[in-house]
Structure formats: structure tokens, C-alpha cells
């Protein structure tokens, strides 16, 4: 195998597939990146056993072939190369890399040991989403999935499509995020996809700005972009019936400037950051004022107020500040609505109902947050 590539493009391609190179693997080949050259088309592949990545890059090909090399080593070498064309030749058990006056010889791994990349069936259910729409959907929802492997089913994001809607939902049992967008394609789809796979797919959507084709099969989800493909094993297990967690009404509601509240919560939460246990922030609402305060026995106290519009009786309720800020960040827009039952029931955050002429793209989004006892 021998080819010539632009360093910047080659490095970006390696960085993308490097994200799914196995880190702690019992199968050594999974720690490698596979390079396959056919004509002027170079394909880079990696897998960690759960997620497969594959990317195609145009190069100046000279001799077709394939090679498997340590992903971490290749990434580190290419990142430090001078800004010049990169010449790569794989012969016998070594890969020779030349760029400007720099040259490297990397030992190759056994190519035949690398697992086969999974490809979706032609007749599998599929759908196409615009990159921006897909990226925003994942941004708003995926952060609410659990990061604890002990609760594997909650590390997934539930994707469902039917009746003209495509819905993504995630929960870690402390908060719940649900986003629904219009669905123009026929048929129904349902899958539980890992947060990590969706964030990798979002990264590709942000980079390329092209459409995202989603293919769902009984055990895999595939995301297809213009020049790359991501295949993820679905998360196993029964996902909670999250719709039953959403209150069907409220007794109090406030409307507040989203950015202003975010800044206030960040400031007030500082006094509790030194605690071993996260110090909650307490929201006290009365008439037209919202008071945010925190009281840490180790660090001290903080309090700040801001104006609100309140419907219903006064209320005092406490939240984990990090979860509250996550919801405010994900919400977007200038203002946010909070709906409450009482200080022990979950609160629901939503964008305000759009007025005539407003952008309705965020209208069908909610973030449910469990309160903290104080």
C-alpha cells in the first residue's frame, strides 16, 4: 500500500476514527486503525467492539493494499507532523511515514486479526434527518443519559418514530429530557442507542453539515454520512416507561429569562462546589421575584434574586445545580417556563409557547428535574 495525502485532512480523518479505537481490549487488533487503499480512495476503520467507525478519504493512490497500525501511535505521529503532504507506504511489517524532513517507521499489527466492519441490510428500516436538526436533538437529550455502566439500560437514548413524529428521550433517574421533531417518512422505528455512539454521530453531523441517514436493525443502529459510517450495537434491556413520569398538569408556573437564571445559578452554586456532596440550590418564588440561594456548612452562603412572572402560590424547591444548569443550557431561547406541583414533585422545564411568527423548532422539548430534599 502506498499513497499521498494532505496532512490536515488525513489528521482529521484519523481523529474521527480514533474515537472508537478500543482502549482496554483483550483483542489487540481492536487497538488499531485499519487503512485500506483502492485507487484514489482510502478507507480508515476502527472498532471497540460496540461501535464501528469507517471513513473514506480521497488521496493520491499509488499501490493498493491494506495495513493495521496502532491507532494511538498513528494519531500521535500525524498530529505532530509539519504542515506538508504526507507520504505513506506499508511494506511487509512496517509503515513508513514521510512528511517534509520528518520520517517514521511504525510496526504493523496483523491485518487479518481485525474484525469485519458491519454493514446494514439494504431493506432495513431507515430515515434521513438534516444534520442541524439531528445535532440539536442529540445536544438537548443525550446529556440526560446515565454515564454509570452499572445501570446499562439508562446509558442509552430511546429513539422512536411513528405517527409523524421522531422522538428522542433519555433519563438517568434524576432528570428526563424528551425532544420530538416532525417525521415525514412512513413506518415505525424504535431503538435504544448508546449515548457515546450518538455523540460520535453528532460530532460527524457538526463537521459535515450534511444529511444523516439512520438505519435501524434488531441489534444495530447505523448512521451514514457523506463520507463516513458509524455502526453501534444497541443497548439491551427494557427502557423505563418515561412518558408516565411526566406530570399531566401543574399548580404553579414561572416564566424567567433563561440566560439570566443560568448565570445566577452558576454564581450561587460556587459556594457548594467544595463540598463532598453537591450542595443544592434553593429556588424561592414569591410574586414577581425568584430568589436563588445556597447554604454550605463548609464554604458559606450565597443568595441572588431576579424578576419572574409567577402563576399560582409561592413555592420553595431545591435542585442539584449541575442538573439544573444542564437543562437551562439545553433549552435554548431567551426565556424558559418552569411548571411545579409542590416541593417534592418533579418540575418540568419547557420553552415558552411560540407566538405567531416565532420559530417553533424548540417548541416540543421538555426537561424534567427531580427536586432535592433540604
Fold for the domain defined by 247-369: DNA Polymerase III; Chain A, domain 2 (3.10.150)
In the prediction, which pLDDT does 124 show?
A: 81
Taking the C-alpha atoms of residue 347 and residue 288, their distance in angstroms, rounded to an integer, is: 19
Enclosing H/E stretch for 243: none
The CB density around residue 363, as the number of other CB atoms within 10 Å, is: 14
- Rounded Cα distance, 189 and 212, in Å: 16
**pLDDT per residue as tens digits for the range 80-96:** 999 999 999 999 899 99
Residue 122 clears pLDDT 50, i.e. is over it:
yes
Binned at pLDDT 50, 70 and 90, residue 276 comes out as: low
What is the rounded distance in angstroms from the CA atom of residue 234 to the CA atom of residue 222? 10
Where does the pLDDT of residue 357 fall: very low under 50, low under 70, confident under 90, or very high at 90 and above? very low
- Residue 362 pairs in a beta bridge with none
| pLDDT per residue as tens digits for the range 130-174 | 899 999 999 999 999 999 888 899 999 999 888 788 899 999 999
Pairing between β-strand 315-319 and β-strand 281-286 as defined by DSSP bridges = antiparallel
Q: What is the pLDDT of residue 210?
A: 78
DSSP bridge pairs for 43: 36, 56
Give the mean model confidence (pLDDT) for residues 105-114: 96
pLDDT at 274: 60
Give the pLDDT confidence of 22-69 residue by residue, as tens digits.
Answer: 877 778 899 999 999 999 999 999 999 999 999 999 999 999 999 999
H-run or E-run covering 32: strand 32-38
How would DSSP label each residue in 69-109? EEHHHHHHHHHTS-SSEEEEEEETTEEEEEETTEEEEEEEE
**Confidence check: pLDDT of 359 > 70:** no
- Residue 356 — pLDDT band, cuts 50, 70, 90? very low
Q: What does the pLDDT average to over 74-85?
A: 95
Instruction: Please state which of the ranges 197-201, 221-225, 228-232, 274-278 shows the lowest mean pLDDT.
Output: 274-278
Mean per-residue pLDDT, 202-206:
90
Pairing of strands 65-70, 102-109: antiparallel
Per the prediction, the chain carries an average pLDDT of 91
Cα of 167 vs its chain's centroid, Å = 15
User: What is the per-residue burial (b if ≥16 Cβ within 10 Å, else e) of 238-274?
Assistant: ebeebeebeeeebebbbebebeebbebbeebbebbee
CATH superfamily of 2-113: DNA Polymerase III, subunit A, domain 2 (3.10.150.10)
Q: Which CATH class for the 126-244 domain?
A: alpha beta
pTM: 0.86
Top-confidence residue, 368 or 296: 368
Chain region(s) in the chain for CATH 3.10.150.10: 2-113, 126-244, 247-369
Measured at the CA of 206, the angle between CA 205 and CA 207, to 5 degrees, comes to: 90
Pairwise CA distance, residues 161 & 184, whole Å? 10
- Asked if pLDDT for residue 322 goes beyond 90, the answer is yes
Residue 160 φ/ψ, nearest 5 degrees: -140, 140
Is residue 288's pLDDT more than 60? yes
Q: Is the pLDDT of residue 111 over 60?
A: yes
- Grid cell 435501524 is found at 216
**178: pLDDT strictly greater than 60:** yes
| Backbone phi and psi for residue 361, each to the nearest 5 degrees, phi listed first | -65, -30
Residue 277 confidence (pLDDT): 65
Rounded to 10°, the helix 321-331/258-269 angle is 160
Amino acid at each position: 500500500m502506498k499513497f499521498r495525502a494532505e496532512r490536515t485532512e488525513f489528521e482529521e480523518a484519523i481523529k474521527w476514527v480514533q474515537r472508537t479505537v478500543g482502549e482496554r481490549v483483550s483483542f489487540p487488533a481492536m487497538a488499531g486503525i485499519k487503512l485500506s487503499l483502492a485507487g484514489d480512495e482510502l478507507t480508515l476503520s476502527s472498532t471497540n467492539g460496540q461501535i464501528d467507525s469507517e471513513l473514506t478519504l480521497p488521496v493520491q493512490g499509488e499501490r493498493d493494499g491494506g495495513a493495521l497500525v496502532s491507532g494511538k501511535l498513528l494519531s500521535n505521529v500525524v498530529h505532530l507532523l509539519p504542515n506538508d503532504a504526507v507520504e505513506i507506504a506499508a511494506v511487509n511489517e512496517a509503515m513508513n511515514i514521510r512528511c517534509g524532513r520528518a520520517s517514521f517507521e511504525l510496526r504493523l499489527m496483523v491485518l487479518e486479526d481485525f474484525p469485519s466492519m458491519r454493514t446494514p441490510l439494504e431493506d432495513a428500516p431507515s430515515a434521513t434527518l438534516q444534520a442541524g436538526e439531528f445535532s440539536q436533538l442529540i445536544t438537548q437529550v443525550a446529556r440526560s443519559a446515565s454515564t454509570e455502566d452499572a445501570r446499562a439500560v439508562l446509558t442509552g437514548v430511546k429513539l422512536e418514530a411513528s405517527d409523524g413524529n421522531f422522538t428522542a428521550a433519555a433519563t438517568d433517574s434524576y432528570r428526563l429530557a424528551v425532544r420530538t421533531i416532525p417525521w415525514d417518512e412512513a413506518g415505525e422505528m424504535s431503538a435504544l442507542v448508546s449515548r457515546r455512539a450518538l455523540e460520535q454521530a453528532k460530532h460527524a453531523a457538526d463537521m459535515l453539515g450534511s444529511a444523516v441517514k439512520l438505519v435501524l436493525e434488531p441489534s444495530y443502529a447505523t448512521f451514514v454520512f457523506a463520507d463516513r459510517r458509524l455502526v453501534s450495537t444497541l443497548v439491551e434491556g427494557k427502557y423505563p416507561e418515561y412518558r408516565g413520569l411526566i406530570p399531566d398538569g401543574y399548580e404553579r408556573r414561572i416564566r424567567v429569562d433563561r440566560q439570566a437564571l443560568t448565570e445566577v445559578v452558576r454564581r450561587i452554586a460556587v459556594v457548594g462546589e467544595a463540598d463532598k456532596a453537591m450542595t443544592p440550590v434553593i429556588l424561592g418564588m414569591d410574586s414577581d421575584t425568584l430568589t436563588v440561594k445556597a447554604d454550605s456548612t463548609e464554604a458559606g452562603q450565597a443568595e441572588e434574586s431576579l424578576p419572574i412572572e409567577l402563576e399560582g402560590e409561592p413555592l420553595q424547591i431545591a435542585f442539584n445545580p449541575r442538573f439544573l444548569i444542564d437543562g437551562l443550557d439545553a433549552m435554548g431561547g431567551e426565556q424558559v417556563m418552569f411548571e411545579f406541583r409542590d416541593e417534592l414533585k418533579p418540575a418540568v422545564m419547557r420553552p415558552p409557547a411560540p407566538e405567531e411568527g416565532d420559530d417553533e423548532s424548540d417548541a416540543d422539548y421538555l426537561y424534567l428535574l427531580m427536586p432535592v430534599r433540604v
